[in-house]
Amino acid sequence: MTDNVPVHLLDALAARDGIVCAVGAGGKKTTLYRLLAAHPGRVGLTATAMLTPPPRRLLDTRLVDSPEALAIAVPEAAAVHRRVGFACPSSKSGRLAGLPPATVARIHADAGFAATLVKADGARMRGIKAPRHDEPLLVPGCTTIIFVVSAGVIGQPLDEHTAHRLPELTAVLDLAPGERITPRHVGRLLSHPAGARQQASGTRLVALINQVDDGERLHAARDAAACALAADTPPERIVLGAMTADDPVVEIVEPTRMPAH
């Protein structure tokens, strides 16, 4: 299996080693799939929330069973396969259920994965979300949180078509439903204790402004990144990206340097 994603994507999103949890909205699955395809080592792909089955072409093997059975089967599979997907069965058609976070941590250690990539919340295909009080479902020992938001929501109204968890977003962004989302609002989400920073204490936080696929979105994403980095609790870095592009990293923005490619 090959992919033309530059390996530097792993470093941009701090996803080369450890347990990496993707949260937020606007391209979590695509981001995880790109990381999986780019990684040269032994990798697990799973979730702690509901998910759609990942494409079989991305995996050497895909296991669906109870948490207890997976705790045994995944390390066995990892001894002979490099890319292992695993999840629990679900009664919902076309969906799989996530694992308990503690079980994911145990499997990561026992399987000897270089990285375990985890979808740690849901967003119902929207472009922006703020976490509910019990989200995200982070794995103990998580080394990196990737908080995703779509640049496509900037300029759009805050409503059920663009956003998931409207009440939470209204509170975090100080924005009424129906009002337009600005770069300042996205920057606020990426640095707010009840936004990207929820449950992120002590864990590396990388923000991904995704779907930056034209000049207008790039300008808006840069403004959003500047707002986030000017806050009291900014992410470690902000990646402007387009995860469906051949080269998914557009720019990397950090507090101590100018945007770089």
pLDDT on residue 260: 55
Q: Which two tokens stand for residue 239?
A: 């990646």
The residue ranges of every structural domain in the chain are 1-38+120-261, 42-113
Q: pLDDT (tens digit, 9 = 90+) per residue, 77-112? A: 999 999 999 999 999 999 999 999 999 999 999 999
Cα separation, 67 vs 83, whole angstroms: 19
Spatial CA neighbour of 227 closest among 258, 183, 257: 183
Closest to 170 (Cα-Cα) out of 147, 195, 149, 148: 195
Nearest residue to 163 (alpha-carbon basis) of 194, 144, 192, 186: 186
CA 188 → CA 129, 148, 167, 201, 218, distances in Å? Answer: 12, 13, 16, 17, 18
For the record, the structure tokens of 210 come out as: 């995704």
Measured CA to CA, the distance from residue 250 to residue 211 in angstroms comes to 10
- Angstrom CA distances, 125 to 52, 122, 254, stand at 11, 8, 28
Helix (H, G, I), strand (E, B) or coil at 44: strand
* C-alpha neighbours within 13 Å on the C-beta side of residue 47: 25
Q: How far apart are CA 15 and CA 32, in angstroms?
A: 10
Q: Is the dihedral of CA 206, 163, 245, 21 positive or negative?
A: positive
- Tell me the per-residue pLDDT of 175-219, one tens digit each, with 9 for 90 and over: 999 999 999 999 999 999 999 999 999 999 999 999 999 999 999
pLDDT category of residue 8 using cuts at 50, 70 and 90: confident
pTM given for the model = 0.94
